[in-house]
Amino acid sequence: MIQALIKGTGSYIPDQIIDNETFSSALFYESNNVPIDKNTDVVISKFSEITGIKSRRYANNNQQASDLGTLAAERAIADAEIDKETLDYIIVAHNFGDVLHNTNRVDMLPTLASRIKMNLQIHNPACVAYDLPFGCPGWVEAVIQANYFIRSGDAKRCLVIGAETLSRVVDPHDRDSMIYSDGAAAVILEAATQTERGILAHATETHAIQHAMLLQMGPGYHQEDENSANRYIKMQGRKVYEFAVTHVPQAMAKALQKAKVNLKDVKKILIHQANEKMDEAIVNRLYKHAGLVVPDNIMPMTISWLGNSSVATVPTMLDLIKREKFPPHEISDGDIILFASVGAGMNINAIVYRW
């Protein structure tokens, strides 16, 4: 039986560190164009208390998402020690394509995957490059797709990338702008036989009828702003929290059941970093339903210093752990890893993987 194994990983964490104090001079508004009736420092303090975010990373002014994705891909290819011309697929998860500094214009023509293939100078036309916009769960879903290509025999090697520059599409007058960040990460998936390692099972769901618009693009909160015609990320935070805490544990449990793996055997949970309290609530509910206590160090957290880089968050954590740059977290042969994510759509997914 053919299995898809993670052969190599790579990530790119931008150099610009944007701490919470950077927003001290911001003018935050409510959605009805009324200024928030609180001192900005109080707003920032409350924000940090709820989300756990103390700083985040922004891309340099001359970088776009495809540039970040290229850097992460180069590192994954080097880590896997493969010939880049042997790649069968390049799948790039993102939400907004390339966005130039000082604009919020989305650019997805050509696709980021084609741009990254060009940047990598891959000549092989049989290496198919395409994008996957699926909200924050996009990278996890791209891995699921690559797994199908490999297990069907259609591919032997796939490069799966998550890249985003969310800092370019946020409303400076919306307190939620402090959540988002930039980054990229990638993995090489490779076909293997005679192994019990790899992707054991997955679960994916889209809850659209009632929840599709919990995250969407909308006008700025300060309508007198000169860029009021622009559209920015808008989120119904409380409803997103309630949705995630209700549905993500169920998807994780479903994936474990399909894989015939007991939760007590899971060594690491790599979950999308959107809100520290939300992630803790998701994992607590998962273990509570199983009648178990949450183990120490089961869930690495990068949100306090990297913020929410959307599709890049989960693979970035994986790369940091694999490279022993995220102590005390580590992964050993045979460990069961549970990947999970939630985001716009509203989409949720989970993967059970044996290292």
Task: Mark whether 337 and 209 lie in a shared domain.
Answer: yes
Considering the domain architecture, whether residues 177 and 235 belong to the same structural domain is answered as no
Q: How many domains does the chain have?
A: 2
Task: Please give the share of the chain, as a percent, with pLDDT higher than 90.
Answer: 84
Calpha distance 52→210 (Å, rounded): 28
Q: Comparing C-alpha atoms, which of 164, 165, 190 is closest to residue 77?
A: 190
Statement to judge: residues 184 and 219 lie in one domain = no
Residues 169, 214 within the same domain: no
Q: Are residues 101 and 156 in the same domain?
A: yes
Of 46, 49, 41, give the one whose Cα is nearest residue 21: 41
Question: Is the model's pLDDT at 224 over the cut of 80?
Answer: no
Residues 119, 72 share a domain:
yes
pLDDT digits (tens, 9 = 90+) for 303-320: 999 999 999 999 999 999
| Residue 328 shares a structural domain with residue 349 | yes
* Angstrom distance (rounded) from CA 268 to CA 262: 13
| Same domain? 181 vs 203 | no
Do 226 and 107 belong to one domain? no
d(CA 136, CA 143): 13
- For residues 154 and 69, membership in a common domain is answered with yes
Task: Look up the domain containing 237 and give its range.
Answer: 199-354
Instruction: Look at residues 9, 338, 1, 8 and name the one whose alpha carbon lies nearest to residue 201.
Output: 338
User: Which of 178, 196, 214 lies at the terminal end of a domain, its last residue?
Assistant: 196
Assess whether 35 and 166 both reside in one domain.
yes
Q: Where is the domain boundary, 196, 215, 244?
A: 196
Residue 228 pLDDT grade (very low, low, confident, very high; cuts 50, 70, 90): low
- Domain boundary pick from 196, 224, 250: 196
117 and 183 share one domain = yes
Tens-place pLDDT, residues 46-95: 999 989 999 999 999 999 999 999 999 999 999 999 999 999 999 999 99
Q: Which two three-digit tokens encode residue 228?
A: 């009021």
For the whole model, what pTM was predicted? 0.93
Please report, for residues 66, 73, 201, 243, 303, the alpha-carbon distance to residue 253 in angstroms, rounded to integers and kept in the order given.
34, 31, 11, 16, 24
Please tell me the distance from the alpha carbon of residue 318 to that of residue 300, in angstroms, as a whole number.
9
**Could you tell me which residues come within 8 angstroms of residue 250 by beta carbon, excluding any fewer than 6 positions away?**
none
CATH assignment of the domain containing 289: 3.40.47.10
> For residue 132, how many other CB atoms are within 10 A of its CB?
22
Q: What whole-number distance in Å separates Cα of residue 260 and Cα of residue 273?
A: 26
